[in-house]
Structure 1
Amino acid sequence: MKKRERRSFDKDFKLMVVELHKSGKSSNEISRELGIPSDMVRRWSREFAFSGDTSFAGSGKQIMTAEQKEIAQLKKALKEAEIERDILKKAGQHLLQERPQIFRFMKDHQQVFAVEKMCRVFQVSRSGYYHWLNRKPSERELKNQELRTNILEVHRLTKFRLGSPKIKKELEDRGFYISRPRVARLMKELNIRSIVQKKFKVVTTDSNHGHAISPNLLDRDFTAPRPGQKWVSDITYVRTNQGWLYLTIVMDLYDRKIIGWSMSRTMEAHRTVVAAFKMAIQNRPVNPEELIFHSDRGVQYACGEFRKLLKAYRIVQSMSRKGNCWDNAVAENFFKILKSELIYQIPNLQYDQARIEIFEFIEIWYNKKRKHSYLDYLTPEQFEKSNQSKAA
């Protein structure tokens, strides 16, 4: 058999191949077009990335002294160590994972690092990697790939707000019934997570005013078997580039739905609690003498204007103890969710933008799409409709 002649390439040819690769052409595409191995294209690209213009010395190497050889060997060893360090830096989270995750990392980074070096760092065999690379995907892997696609879509559609428990519930709505740990593992592989919640500092209301204080009738019992039995309300502050925005909400504890809200630039009662209350009574019927309206001791809730409204609808007023935010914990928790999932995620928030974002958060996201663990992972709207159908 005639021995196959080995092709040789000069430096200019190699540099042009590297330029093609840098321009966006894949190594496989260049391999097909030029008739050279794809791993050679990747090797030349890596060599140029590390050595620049001194790459591709070819056969014209100068005769070196013993000292120069030692320096060259040390440089080579240092370069090898730097490459291994870079692999470890990028792949630190994969070192303790199973082989499929390691092999997936190697596949994604073979344009950057030599397969042989990655195999040495991960202590896996090249034959094992290429066997995995060329294998037919298993049924579970195909299922995982479908799940990854859906997880990414849910993550995007919910504006990156959900963790694995609620993503699991969203997947169930799509017909995927899998465990929460499996969802968490796939999210980790995809390097996604819910928005990191910042610490929410509760600022209690200044109750230093001359109005009467109502007793705490709610007494931290945040359950309600029917709508229109217990409403809670609170006011929070949102910083914008054009000054403060004051948000007032009224929530029905039956289904945790925000049934009334108002946004204003000032803290007058008619722009805050009165406006939110009027929206609430339009959205949900009142049970006279039975409905408890609970809030903190703020002057807006204690003033005569608001108390006249409550009296007109025969609603019983309840107030938290002085400086005790836990007496109104559900309303406080809503503001924690709002700020961690929305407000803290928007830099340089404009006043008009804040109004639109908060409106969308309450009416579209929180009331209609956000699943609540208290409601057995239903949204307030789903919970309300489900119980209406049961009652019918």
Structure 2
Amino acid sequence: MTDYSLNSLYKVAGITKQGVWDHFRREKAELEMIERVIGRVDKRRKEHPGEGLEKLYDQLNPQGLGRDKFCRIFGQLGYGIRRTTNPIRTTIPAHKVFDNLIEGRLVTGPNQVWQSDITYIKVSDRFYYLTFIIDVYTRRIVGYAVSDSLRAEANIKAIKMAFATVSSGELSGCVHHSDRGSQYTDGRYLKMLRGNDMLISMGGRAQDNAFAERINGVIKNEYLIPWSLSSFRQLQYYSKKAVTDYNTKRHHGSLGKCSPVDYETAWKKLPEDKRRVEVIRSENTPDFLEASLQSNAIDTSCQYPYCTIHLN
């Protein structure tokens, strides 16, 4: 058997000893970096257990690791999320309906359009129901309720919570938009809306209520379902936590990677000519909005874009 020195093998392979060691060092450094990122991912997932890999990447922004590589590596490590579908119907059709007032509507600030919807969640072989009310402009959940039935009492509780977030008179002219469920035509509910000078709007399709529909999926799939709840009491507790975390910690690309609360705080400090303007669209727009981003970012801690209307 012929003995070969490592230097001879390097020469035959067309590489150098230094090159081999550099390769090992790079691999070692990358593995150490991935281990550090795993720690950050685990910490983030404790608060946002159903957050997808692309959203995780945007939140963590790990240096030296591109989005595609991050998603590939962490997908292989078992961090991918499987989404569930919603086969349960929560809309009980009402005899009385209202026109859709928000299609094509300009939105220039908070408390101009609120959307609400009801969804279900299964806990210990029983179905419970979640009602959410969201401010379309800031994406903030302004009211919510957890219930064991589809009665209008849950909606009334949610709207009372939403009213508590604003001062008297702030909702005059604000549009309350929902589907055509009977909970939203309950006499008590309508009286509360009209008592705050709100306009009442309804859509006939899921696409007409896209913001609220999306919130349903985010709260259930990114928070409640991954937490594996086992009781109604837990559902109540963790729903509150999910709404708080969503409003204060979950960043949105459409808000310049701000949380809804941070975005609203920064928005109040802007002159009117620098505030984002959006137009609501229900067709062919996944975000239910059309807006073209301009290059000038606002100088705030969360830096969000100034948007103008794009009607194409």
Measured in 2, the distance between the counterparts of 1:178 and 1:391 equals: 38
- 1:187 matched to 2:74? The reply is yes
> Does the CA-based 8 Å contact 1:242-1:350 persist in structure 2?
no
Measured in 2, the distance between the counterparts of 1:200 and 1:252 equals: 23
> Does the CA-based 8 Å contact 1:251-1:259 persist in structure 2?
yes
- 1:225 matched to 2:114? The reply is no
Change (3 A) 1:147 1:227: farther
Measured in 1, the distance between the counterparts of 2:89 and 2:23 equals: 59
For 1:308-327, list aligned pairs within 5 A.
308-321=191-204, 324-327=205-208
User: CA-to-partner distance for each residue in 1:284-343, whole Å, 9 max, x for gaps?
Assistant: 34534420000111111101111111111100010112xx11111111111122232234
SS of equivalent to 1:378? coil
Partner amino acid, structure 2, of 1:215:
D
Measured in 2, the distance between the counterparts of 1:353 and 1:132 equals: 55
> Does the CA-based 8 Å contact 2:116-2:178 persist in structure 1?
yes
- 1:247 matched to 2:130? The reply is yes
TM-score (norm 2): 0.70
| Partner residue in 1 for 2:253 | 373
The CA RMSD over aligned residues, in Å, is 3.2
> Does the CA-based 8 Å contact 1:162-1:194 persist in structure 2?
no
SS of equivalent to 1:283? coil
SS of equivalent to 1:161? coil
Q: Cα offset for 1:220?
A: 6.9
- 1:329 matched to 2:200? The reply is no
> Does the CA-based 8 Å contact 2:132-2:216 persist in structure 1?
no
SS of equivalent to 2:248? coil
Change (3 A) 1:162 1:236: closer
Equivalent in 234, 241, 244 of residue 117 of structure 2: 234
Measured in 2, the distance between the counterparts of 1:299 and 1:254 equals: 26
Change (3 A) 1:161 1:177: farther
| Partner residue in 2 for 1:215 | 99
Partner amino acid, structure 1, of 2:255:
L
| Partner residue in 1 for 2:277 | none
Change (3 A) 1:279 1:347: closer
| Partner residue in 2 for 1:91 | none
Aligned length in residues: 254
Which has more helix, going by share of residues? 1
| Partner residue in 2 for 1:109 | none
Change (3 A) 1:283 1:150: farther
- 1:200 matched to 2:77? The reply is no
Measured in 1, the distance between the counterparts of 2:147 and 2:131 equals: 9
Q: Cα offset for 1:259?
A: 0.8
Q: Cα offset for 1:132?
A: 5.9
Measured in 1, the distance between the counterparts of 2:86 and 2:125 equals: 22
Which has more strand, going by share of residues? 2
> Does the CA-based 8 Å contact 2:178-2:201 persist in structure 1?
yes
Q: Cα offset for 1:235?
A: 1.4
SS of equivalent to 1:329? helix
- 1:162 matched to 2:46? The reply is no
Measured in 1, the distance between the counterparts of 2:81 and 2:232 equals: 23
SS of equivalent to 1:247? strand
| Partner residue in 1 for 2:305 | none
For 1:1-392, list aligned pairs within 5 A.
137-138=25-26, 142=29, 144-145=30-31, 147-159=33-45, 160-172=49-61, 176=63, 179-188=66-75, 191-201=77-87, 203=89, 205-207=91-93, 209-210=94-95, 212-219=96-103, 224-241=107-124, 243-270=126-153, 272-285=154-167, 287-321=170-204, 324-347=205-228, 349-364=230-245, 366-391=246-271
Q: Which runs of 4+ in 1 moved over 4 A?
A: 131-136
Change (3 A) 1:348 1:277: closer
Give percent identity, aligned residues only.
24
User: CA-to-partner distance for each residue in 1:212-233, whole Å, 9 max, x for gaps?
Assistant: 3111111276x73200100001
> Does the CA-based 8 Å contact 1:171-1:177 persist in structure 2?
no
Runs of 5+ in structure 1 lacking a partner?
1-124
Measured in 1, the distance between the counterparts of 2:150 and 2:159 equals: 15
TM-score (norm 1): 0.57
| Partner residue in 1 for 2:9 | none
Measured in 2, the distance between the counterparts of 1:386 and 1:157 equals: 27
Runs of 5+ in structure 2 lacking a partner?
1-12, 273-312
> Does the CA-based 8 Å contact 1:229-1:287 persist in structure 2?
no
Measured in 1, the distance between the counterparts of 2:252 and 2:125 equals: 33
